[in-house]
Structures are given as C-alpha cells and as structure tokens.
Structure 1
Amino acid sequence: MDLFTRYLGLPLRNPLVASASPLTSTVRDVRRLADAGIGAIVLPSLFEEQVHREQLRDLLLVEAHEHAFSEATSYFPSTTASEPGGANRYVRLVEQAVSAVDVPVIASLNGSTPGGWPTFAYAMQEAGAAAIELNIYFVPGDPHTSGRQVEDRHVEILERVLAHVSIPVAVKLSPHFSSPGEMAVRLDRTGAHGLVLFNRFLQPDVDPESVTVSPGFALSTPAEAPLARTWVAILHDHVTCSLAASTGVETAADVAAYLLAGADVVMTTSSLLRHGPEHATVLLDGLTDWLTRKGFAGVDEARGWLSVPREVDQAAYERAGYVAALEHARETYGGVTGP
C-alpha cells in the first residue's frame, strides 16, 4: 500500500505526523516515534517568553560590565555560556533530533507578537530543521482589539519569518476568527507553505470549591474533530499550501476521515500520550487496512474524496448541511419540548 505523501513540499513516508508534545521533547522519544513509523515529527515550541527572558539576561550581563577596561574583550560574557538558556537548549534539541532520525523534524515557535522570531527561526533552520511551525497563540483579552488587528498580526509574524528563512513555514491557526476561511486564504497568499487546523486554546475555568482558577488542560477527543474536518474540506480546493489536520485523532478511522476531507497530513498528540509512541504503528496499520478494504491504491487517491466541491455555493452548501443535521436530530429525538 502506498502511504507516501508530501507536506510543506517535504516527502513523507506516510501522512501521520507527531505534533508538538512532551513526547517530542527528548531525543529518546523522537527515536521511538520514528521507529514506530511516524512520517514527521514536530518538536515542542520554543516560547516567545523564553526568548525574551534570554535576550534580557544577556543584555543585563553585558551592561553590567560595559565600563570595564575596553581592551579586555574576553571579559564580556558569552551569549552561549556554559549554562545556556532555553533558546540555545532548543537549538541543540533540533540538532540532536535531526541527527537521530531519518524523518523530517519540524521546529516550532509559539508567541503572539512579531518580536525576535526571525532570528530564532533562522537559528532553527541552521540547526537542521526541515521546516518551522508558527504557533501564534494570541487571545485578544483587550475588548477594544479589532478582529482585523488580530488577523494583521498573524500576517506580520508570518512575513517576518518568511523573510529570514528559506525552509518551509506553516502556521497553526485557531478556529476563532470571524471568517477562518478568509484568514486561511490570506495566509496562503502571503506565502505560508502550510496551515495546521486547529490550535486548541487552553480554557482556564473557575473551581468554586477551592475558589481558584483551574488550568483547563485536557487531551483532545474524537468529538472535537468535526470542526477541523469541516474547514479542511472547505479549504481543500481553495488554498495552494498544505493542510495539516489536528485535534481529535484516536483511531485509524479518524485519520481516514481527515484524509477524505482533504488533509495532506494528520497530526496527533493525545493518542500518542494516551497509548505511547508505538500507537503510531496501530494507526498506520489500521489506515493501510482501511485503504485496502475501500479499494484505494494509496492516500493520494483517498485524499479530498469528500471535500467541498470548489464550484458549489459554499454558504448554501454549509446551510444545507446545517438543515440536514437539524432534521436528523428531529427524527432521532422527536419533539422534545422539555418538562
């Protein structure tokens, strides 16, 4: 069975990608994922806050000695000291992971402002990363921030990084735009090589018993997948960049459903955390079995089989689906009117 695919222009042995998680944070586990058959690996994100703290630390160290004897250049502290900060450790992880496996290793940057991303994106490229994933985690808490300002910030970050690297760049999006499709098309036209649908924002909640705010983190479930699948299906024929599906992957059926919708690759974190890196083999074996049973020669044949046709009125198409869902609910649950 031919599982070969391409993502961000990169050749992959199959469409299953291990997305950023604690399981991609060590070389040992990166090797386990590759040995289990995973097609590509996204390393955990280097956070903008880590970069800023490190830059501030180095600046303070230099300024503390700026009035020292001018010819004693060795007196200045090195920015690659024996106790490196998060950014330097991350670059080392990229180098070691790339050397350890024969599948593409994708570095990840997480932040919300243009900041110093380009410099560290370039460092990741030099360390051997096959591509970079921009995880733009921006929740506009200021009620005066307009939707267009949020969108413009995404585009600006992408433009700055693209100007400093030559390797492919993907953007991991949230679904919380007033028009996710327009945002996706705009990023595609700006030069994004891929889009990851979707980011899962943490949702802290209030615990009334402890009178505290709880972190609000939970692994995803297949029930969360329809939203991402819907937008993958809509965008399949409307962007030229790669589409990576993320969220709600637990079984091979979930992988197959994303491919039918039009995903180039399917990313998973939660299933690997629940079952271990070797679960990748289970997913790939199940995908191979499904392709065989359905008569597909490979993933390319199955991809986009159920995507939204480009020529249809997509608003009407979505509306028809909405009405059909309501009719199905009415038939299933009857005229429930409450007590």
Structure 2
Amino acid sequence: MDLTSQYLGLTLRSPIIASASPMNTDLDYLKALDKAGIGAIVLPSLFQEQIDHAFEEIDSLQQYNSPEASQYLPVNNMVSGPYGVGPDAYLELISQAKKTVSVPVIASLNGYTNTAWIEYAKLMQEAGADALELNIFSVPTDINISGQQVEDNYINIVTNIRKYVDIPLAVKLCPYFSAIGSLAQRFIDAGANGLVLFNRIMSPDIDIHNLDITSRYSLSTASEGLIALQWIGLLARRVNASLAASTGVDDYQQVIKYLLAGADTVMTTSALLRNGPGYVETLREGVCDWLKARQQKDLKLMRGQMSWQKLKNNQAYERSHYIKLVGSFLSK
C-alpha cells in the first residue's frame, strides 16, 4: 500500500507525523519511531523564554569581565528548559537526529516576538533541519491591544524569518481567531509553506484550597479534534499550502477522518505517549486496511473527498448541523 504524502515540499513515506513531544529529545525513541514507519518527526519546541534566559544569564555574568566569572558561563549556552534542552544543545539535537533517522526532521520555535527568532531560525537551518515549525502564540493580556495588532505581530514574525531562512516554514495556529481563513491566507502570503491546525493551548486552573494558580496537563482525546477537522475541511484545496492536522488522534480512524477532510499529513503526540512509538505501525495498518477494503492503492482518491470544496452539500461545515442538533433536543 502506498502511503506516500507531500508536506511542505517534502516527500514523506507516510502521512503520519510525530508532533512535538518531550520524548522527541531521546534518540532511541526517534529510532523506534523511524522503525515503526513514521513519516517525519517534529522536535520539541525551543521556547523564547529559554533563548531570552540564556542571553540574560550570559550578559549578567560577562559584565564582571573577570576570569573567575567566566567559569560560570553556560557551556555552549546549554541552559536547560522544559525538556532539559537549551538553545545550543537544541542545535546539537537537530544534528544528531538527522544522523539517527531516515525521515525528515522538523525543528520547532515557540514564541511571540521577534527576539532572537531570526538568529535561531538561521542556526536551525544550518544545523540541518529539513523544515521549521513556528509555534506562535501569546495570551493578549493587554486589553488595549486589538485582534488586528495581535495578528499583525504574528505575520511580522513569519515575514522576518522568511527573509533569512530558505527551508520550508509551517505555522502552528491556535483556534482562537475570529477569521481563521483570512489569517491563514495572510501567513501564506508572508512566506509560510504550510499550516498546522491546531495548537493545543494549556490553560490555567485555580487551586481553591491553597488559593494558587496551577496548570494541569492531560493528553488529548478524539473529541478535541473536531474543530481542527472542521477547519481542515474548510481550507483544503482553497489555500496554496500544506495542511497538517493536529490534536485528538487516538487511533487510525481519526487519521482517516483528517485525510478525508483534506489534510496532507496528520500529527500525533498523545497517542504515541499513551501507546509507545510502535503504535505508529498500528496507525499505518489501520489506514492501509481501510484503503484495501475500498480497493484503493494509495491516498489520492480519499484525500479531501469530504472537504468543503468537494462536497455538494458543503453547508454541513457551517450551521446546518448545529440547527439539527438543537432541534433534536427540542423534540425530546
């Protein structure tokens, strides 16, 4: 069965991509993903806070201008972050991953301003990354900043990085925009080669006993992928960019749904964390069995078959299902 897929101008042996995960710093884990038939691997994000912290620590120590102070400088700028990988160590991870696996390796930057982004995007390209995923998100806590200003800032980041980086760029979006289609087109016009729909945002919680703000992490479930499914279906074949679906991939059925909606590739983290890297083979087999049952030899016929543009009754992506759902409750 031929599962060959195109993403960001790269040819992948499978549409299934291992999205950014804390496990993707482990070279043995990457080998296992490769052996199981993964199409590509996204390394965990290098966060803007890590880059800023590294520069601040170096600047603070260098101001003493003494041999004694120099011994405390971070070695190769390897300041640990959420995954234990600092800025320069991240570049080494890219290099080692490229030597370890046979599939494309995609680096990832997570931030919200231009600070150090351009420089590290260039360094990631030099380290051998096949593509770069820009995980751009900030919580607009300033109530005087408009949605237009937030979007303009994001567009400027992509525009500026594109000036200095030649490798393909993907933008990982969150679903909290009023006009996702328009913003998607703006990113493409700014130089993005692909879009990842959607980023799963971690939100704060309140500990009512200790009166503290906490955060809680849980793996995604299939129901969380419905909004991504909707927008993949709405954008497929209407924008000139690769579309990667992300969030809610529990099993092969979600992979098939995303491909039917028009996704070029399907990313997963939670399913692999739950079941291990070998689960990639299970996902691939499920897709192959579905194709065999319909006597299809590849993904060409099924990809986008259920997209907004392809369906005659494309109102199913809009309000008709909402009206039916409300009506079903009223009739009970």
Name the residue aligned to 1:128: 128
Q: Is the 8 A contact 1:233 1:262 kept in 2?
A: yes
Question: CA 1:134 to 1:289, structure 2 compared with 1: closer, same or farther past 3 Å?
Answer: same
Question: Where does residue 42 of structure 1 map in the other structure?
Answer: 42
**SS class of match (1:106):** strand
Which residue of structure 2 lines up, in the alignment, with residue 23 of structure 1?
23
* Residues 83, 123 of structure 1: alpha-carbon distance in 2 compared, 3 angstrom cutoff: closer
| Contact 2:54–2:77 (CA under 8 A) maintained in structure 1 | no
Is residue 331 of structure 2 the alignment partner of residue 335 of structure 1?
Answer: yes
Q: How many Å separate the matches in 2 of 1:280 and 1:94?
A: 22
- Give CA-to-partner distance per residue, 1:146-203, whole Å, 9 cap, x none: 0001110110110111111111010000110111111001111111011000001111
Aligned partner of 2:150 in structure 1 is 150
- Aligned residues of 1:18 and 1:42 also touching (Cα < 8 A): yes
Deviations 1:104-138 (A, max 9, x none): 00000000111110100111111111000000121
Q: How does 1:248-263 map to 2 (within 5 A)?
A: 248-263=248-263
Structure 2: distance between partners of 1:127 and 1:119: 12
Query: How many residue pairs get matched?
Result: 325
Task: Give the Cα–Cα distance (whole angstroms) in 1 for the partners of residues 312 and 248 of structure 2.
Answer: 28
**Residue equivalent to 2:83:** none
* Structure 1 unaligned residues grouped into runs of 5+: none
Q: 5 Å matches for 1:183-332?
A: 183-309=183-309, 318-319=317-318, 322-328=319-325, 330-331=327-328
Equivalent residue of 2:17, what SS? strand
TM-score when scaled to structure 2?
Answer: 0.92
Q: Aligned in 2, Cα 1:302/1:63: closer, same or farther, shift over 3 Å?
A: same
| Residues 105, 129 of structure 1: 8 Å contact kept | yes
Distance change in 2, residues 1:79/1:130 (3 Å): farther
CA–CA distance in structure 2, aligned partners of residues 270 and 185 of structure 1: 29
Tell me, in whole angstroms, the C-alpha distance in 2 between the residues paired with 1:112 and 1:162: 16
In 2, Cα distance between the equivalents of 1:208 and 1:226?
A: 31
CA contact (8 A) 1:46 1:108 kept: yes
Q: What's the counterpart of residue 94 of structure 2?
A: 94
- Alpha-carbon distance in structure 2 between the residues aligned to 1:17 and 1:79: 37
- 1:300 alignment partner, SS class: coil
Conserved 8 A contact 1:185-1:238: no
Displacement after TM superposition at 1:228 (Å): 0.3
User: CA shift at 1:313, angstroms?
Assistant: 10
Give how far 1:240 is off: 0.7
* Inter-partner Cα distance in structure 2 for 1:246 and 1:110: 16
Unaligned runs of 5+ in 2: 80-85
Alignment partner, residue 75 of structure 2: 81
Aligned CA distance change for structure 1 residues 269 and 102 (closer, same or farther; 3 Å): same
Matched-pair contact (CA < 8 Å) for 1:5–1:300 = no
**Shift of residue 53, structure 1, vs aligned partner:** 1.3
**Letter of the structure 1 residue corresponding to residue 23 of structure 2:** L
Cα shift at 1:328: 4.5
Report the CA distance between 1:334 and its aligned residue.
5.0
Given that residues 204 and 217 in structure 1 are in contact (C-alpha distance below 8 angstroms), is that contact kept between their aligned partners in structure 2? no
Greater Rg over alpha carbons, structure: 1
Cα 1:151–1:313 shift into 2, 3 Å: farther
TM-score (norm 1): 0.90
* Secondary structure, aligned partner of 2:44: strand
Change (3 A) 1:142 1:310: farther
> How much has 1:217 moved relative to structure 2?
1.9
Flag the 1:83–1:308 CA change in 2: closer, same or farther, 3 A. Answer: closer
**Separation (CA, whole Å) in 1 of partners of 2:300 and 2:3:** 8
Name the structure 1 match of 2:82.
Answer: none
SS at 1:302's partner residue?
A: coil
1:310 Cα offset (Å): 7.2
RMSD: 2.3
- Residues 80, 53 of structure 1: CA spacing in aligned structure 2 closer, same or farther, 3 A cutoff? closer
Q: 1:287 to 1:311 in 2, by over 3 A?
A: closer
